[in-house]
Structure 1
Amino acid sequence: MNKKFAVVIAFAVLVTVVAITFSSYYFTVLEMQQYRPSVSEQTLDINLKNGSPVLGSENAPVTIIEFGDYQCEACYHWFHNTRADIIDNYIETGKAKLVFVDLPFLGSDSIVAAQATYCAEDQGKYWDYHNTLYNFQEEIDNGWASKDRLVAFAFNLDMNLDEFSDCLDTAKYNKRVKANYDEAVKQGAQGTPTFIIIAPDGSTTKIAGPQPYSAFVKVMSPLTSAVQIEQP
């Protein structure tokens, strides 16, 4: 009886180990598929008029489009682990420019936070405000991006608070944020962050997830190595 019981226990343990191993392998494969860059030789019709101001030179030959949510933890990790290297090596050298397009889907505060960045743009501080949101990100809809906190961020950036508050209260940029959301969905962004790299010839590469800097170098280095960069 004890021997049979031991056999049953051993079999159960074996099944559990196999299940865990298969599960780990399966989700690893899913992650690899999710983060593998996909290349399209077709020129995409991407509407960026509602997106952020361009970060970098308007004449940069390569365009990086980031679809993001200010409450997205993966976006937070990309912002803190990858973005600075891209700015140093591609944006500031004139090789590429960056445009942020809102994809606010994680919570109600995501929409208001996105609107707030354009209220900041009215005072010439879009990117300062954008950076502030990712520096102070907390849990989704826990109050970190409430109106009071958004106004406090504006105060820290020496903005006109009456103008900023009025912009938020009237939802001045609600349609703009909604248009960005629709554009992100149209371009097939199924999560955040999602990136589309537009080459000088118009061909595109899509990168999903908070990829490391090396993944962007692999895509962008061939695009910029043979291009004459215009110096400001």
Structure 2
Amino acid sequence: MSEATQTPAKPKLPWFWIMPIPVALLIGIIIGMQIPTPGDSVAAAPAPTEQAAEGAQNADATQQKINVERRDANDPTAVGAIDAPVTMVTYSDFQCGYCAKWAAESLPTIVQQYVDAGKLRIEYRDIMFFGENSRQSAELAVAAGKQGKYQEFHDAIFADGATAKNADFSAEGIKELAKTIGVDHKQLVADAASEETSALVQKNHDEAKDLGVTGTPTFIINGSPVVGAQPLEVFVQAIDVELAG
């Protein structure tokens, strides 16, 4: 995917991160134990016993969820009903080209089909992998959210596949942006500069770091991770499974 707005390549999460963390760690440990060092002889691994196989099935059936959803009625960067049966926590960076791709190709249908129908709540956690411009974007996003216009800000920054790299965050640019998304300009600037906003943005970034998120976008759907700008069908299937459960 080589597009003009694409962000520099970031280390991606291992493929097994699409499974709950305890299972991923277990697989990693097993793989690590089975890689021989130079000079070691490689013996055939014994076949698993019925008891071991049953234990693996039970572990799979009781996979632990990653509990990061907040369900806070005052969360300025969440959209959708607070009591929606499915919550999708979204770790994203406004300078991330893959985030823009997901926002253009998958998000509109997700919002229309699930958020607007009261089936899904999206809790956006905008983080700062790409520096100060990402921080400023995230703070402006929180400020827009305090006026009930988070999604409008998000859509404006990612419009037509653009990112915050293309945004004009000069004084006049922010004033025009406020007009575009329908918020009070002076309040937007004041809220973006507040300590409360800065603390929330830092909290979201630190949370992603503590979870081991190393690439954006990353999603947690009712506790189950999905990594990357996957096709729309991946999200539809994951959400439908949770709704059916």
TM-score (norm 1): 0.71
Is the 1:109–1:146 Cα contact (8 Å) retained in structure 2? no
Partner residue of 2:68? Answer: 46
Larger-Rg structure: 1
- CA distance in 1 between counterparts of 2:13 and 2:92 reads 20
Residues 46, 128 of structure 1: CA spacing in aligned structure 2 closer, same or farther, 3 A cutoff?
A: same
Structure 2 match to 1:152: 176
> In the TM superposition, what are the counterparts of 1:14-163 in structure 2 within 5 Å?
34=15, 37-39=18-20, 41-46=63-68, 48=70, 52-135=76-159, 138=162, 141=165, 144-163=168-187
- Alignment correspondent of 1:178: 202
Structure 1 letter corresponding to 2:116: E
Q: 1:32 to 1:141 in 2, by over 3 A?
A: closer
- CA distance in structure 1 between the aligned counterparts of 2:136 and 2:238, rounded to whole angstroms: 33
d(CA) in 2 for partners of 1:46 and 1:173? 19
Tell me the alpha carbon deviations over residues 8-31 of structure 1, each in whole angstroms, 9 at most, x when there is no partner: xxxxxxxxxxxxxxxxxxxxxx98
Identity of aligned residues (%): 25
Report the 3-state secondary structure (helix = DSSP H, G, I; strand = E; otherwise coil) of the residue aligned with 2:221: strand
Do structure 1's residue 220 and structure 2's residue 239 form an aligned pair? yes
**Which consecutive residues of structure 1, in runs of 5 or more, have no partner in the other structure?**
1-29, 199-203, 227-232
Instruction: Report the CA distance between 1:148 and its aligned residue.
Output: 3.9
Distance 1:140 1:61, change over 3 A: closer
What is the identity, as a one-letter code, of the residue corresponding to 1:44?
I
* Alignment RMSD: 2.9
What's the offset of the Cα at 1:123? Answer: 2.2
Q: Provide the residue aligned with 1:18 in structure 2.
A: none
Rate the CA distance shift 1:151–1:63 in 2: closer, same or farther, 3 A: same
Gaps of 5+ in 2: 1-10, 22-62
- For the 8 Å contact 1:51–1:180, the answer to whether it is kept is no
Distance 1:54 1:122, change over 3 A: closer
* SS at 1:65 equivalent: strand
Task: Tell me how far apart the structure 2 counterparts of residues 88 and 143 of structure 1 sit (CA, whole Å).
Answer: 26
Q: Distance in 1 between matches of 2:194 and 2:242?
A: 43
Q: Distance in 2 between matches of 1:136 and 1:114?
A: 19
Residue-pair matches, total:
192
d(CA) in 2 for partners of 1:181, 1:112: 13
Any conservation in 1 of the 2:77–2:125 contact (CA below 8 Å)?
no
